[in-house]
A and B are shown apart, each in its own frame.
Chain A
Amino acid sequence: MFLAIKEIKHEKLRYGLIVLIIFLISYLIFMLSSLAIGLSSQNTQAIESWNTQRVVLNKNSNINMNQSVLTKEDLKNFKMTKKDAVVGELGIVAKAKGHQSVSAQFLGIKKDQFIYKDQDLVAGKKAKKTNEVTVDSSFKDQGYHLGDKISLNGSSKKYKIVGFVNNAKINIAPIVYSRFATWKKLRMAAPNVAASAVISQNSKLDFNYKDAKTYSVEKFISELPGYTAQNMTFDLMIGFLFVISLIVIAVFLYILTMQKMHNFAVMRAQGIPSKTLISATISQSIILVVIGVIIGLILMWLTALLLPDAVPVKFTPLIALGGTVGMLLMGIIGSLIPIRSILKVDPAKAIGE
């Protein structure tokens, strides 16, 4: 540690540049991870807020709630409990006079079921009448207010916003909650249509009858349009960044070690053991990574604070911890590469040079 700290203090520019590279990589890892989690969360926010365990859909819907239609016949034998709630979903465009259009998901829910009851309101009240809606709080960020009247899909019928709800996004789109009857009307559903899906908090639910089929929430989420592809893309980018950081750290340390071979030979000739030189190299790598990552963490924290809410960045303690541990691991592995060269240092080379 002594040699590591002294060298870094003496060679500020050289090691400062390495810290800069590590900081940039870690910042990028934190940013991409936060974006990945943010986007992923916007896909699943509502599903998680409902504490969903199982989802009953039409088996021919490709596990997509928007495409699913459950008939009364399909649900004939389904015994509704307080842990189950029916939803009717419809993709819509909401617009109020003087405001921008918002692509949203309309969810019809029933007053006596948990989704309606558990709505986490940030302002206003729950929709009681068929011409009332509660909307995701992101509407508020776009300038909508309580009492604004919105039209859906350009129809002349107006719906009054009576509440703003927290965590009400599905598949990145904000949700417009209203009464189940309103959904039926909007969808112009045939009399035998019962719902788009049944959301259940019962992890043991396994209802399969006619066209109705039960899926785990994990399966349901993984089949959300674009969800898996998006997550895999981010995972790949983050994975590559870790590999790049490993290569950068290893290459830098290797080059620096090669430049110091004569110094190492001299120290070995003077009786300084190899383990002191090896521990100095590993410590140096850890110190550089820690400094770079701390700067990356601070800047990422500030970035997350300053970015507008519209940017789906979610910088969580888990990302900070995971990124830090990952970078430290890369630093340690990277510092092991030059160790073979250090072990091979011939102290006799110090003589006559």
Chain B
Amino acid sequence: MAVIELKDVKKVYGKGEAQVVALKDINFKADKGEVVLIMGPSGAGKSTFLTIAGSLQKPTSGQVLINDADISDFSAKKSNELRLGKIGFVLQAYNLVPFLTVNEQFTLVDKVKKQNNLSKAELQDLLKQLGITKLLRKYPGELSGGQQQRAAIARALYANPEILLADEPTALLDTQNVEEVGQLFKDLAKKRDKAVMLVTHDPRLEKYADHIYEMMDGTMTKKK
């Protein structure tokens, strides 16, 4: 059973002559323990795919299944709960809350989600794996790009999601950091049993992927 599956998903923006078809009959699946790359040029529909897979917006038609449950018609509140519990986001500019220290980013999660977050020991283990154990008292503005990236990953994984969605996770990193982050995503998928979906146009990440999907003009084809 795929942890996330999109069936015949279509997304249309606007009406009449202004209508834009952002996604055309997308079929996609990812399972735990896999790193899946969604690649393609700007404007191909990658971000729209990510927002629909991440329950940030609804498809115009088709189904989005998470653990076989259709989330396409979820209310805003249920989508919110789903994102909080099942989906971790790592966004393009890392997007940590700027006025919270790294440690307080986890406290914020504790404030809104009381159960099933990582235990102290699990968090320590994760921080160690990410190499950021000494940065807990730092604000995002005091961290380098690579450190922010790792902190954002820790933040996304703290709520113990099954799916990790990353939007252009290497856009601001140099080659050495890209290699490290690529390996990290692979380790997270394998060792922590997460479905890791990376939306990117960075070919340097291809070698870490189990599956690669290519997007072009709203259509998706499986490359690997």
Q: How far is the CB of B20 from chain A (nearest CB, A)?
A: 15
Q: Which residues of B contact A3 (CB under 8 A)?
A: 97, 100, 108
Q: Are A271 and B85 in contact (CB under 8 A)?
A: yes
Q: Are A352 and B47 in contact (CB under 8 A)?
A: yes
Interface check B111, CB cutoff 8 A: yes
Q: Which residues of A contact B112 (CB under 8 A)?
A: 271-273, 276
* Cβ contact of B111, chosen from A2, A9, A270, cutoff 8 A: A2
**CA–CA, A11 and B107, complex, Å:** 19
Interface check B131, CB cutoff 8 A: no
**CA–CA, A106 and B149, complex, Å:** 84
Q: Are A351 and B80 in contact (CB under 8 A)?
A: no
Q: Are B51 and A271 in contact (CB under 8 A)?
A: no
Given contacts A270-B83, A271-B85, contact A10 B108 (CB under 8 A): no
Interface check B162, CB cutoff 8 A: no
- Size band of the A side of the interface? 20 to 34
Q: Which residues of B contact A267 (CB under 8 A)?
A: 97, 108
**CA–CA, A264 and B159, complex, Å:** 18
Given contacts A2-B108, A350-B95, A352-B167, contact A271 B113 (CB under 8 A): yes
Q: Which residues of B contact A347 (CB under 8 A)?
A: 56, 83
Q: Are A270 and B84 in contact (CB under 8 A)?
A: yes
Q: How far is the CB of B123 from chain A (nearest CB, A)?
A: 17
Q: Which residues of B contact A11 (CB under 8 A)?
A: 99
Q: Are B57 and A353 in contact (CB under 8 A)?
A: no
Interface check A236, CB cutoff 8 A: no
Interface check A157, CB cutoff 8 A: no
Name B87's closest neighbour in chain A (CB-CB). Answer: A271
Interface check A7, CB cutoff 8 A: yes
What are 16 contact pairs spanning A and B, CB under 8 A? A6-B100, A6-B104, A10-B98, A10-B139, A11-B99, A266-B95, A268-B80, A269-B83, A269-B91, A270-B83, A270-B84, A271-B82, A272-B108, A273-B112, A350-B89, A352-B168
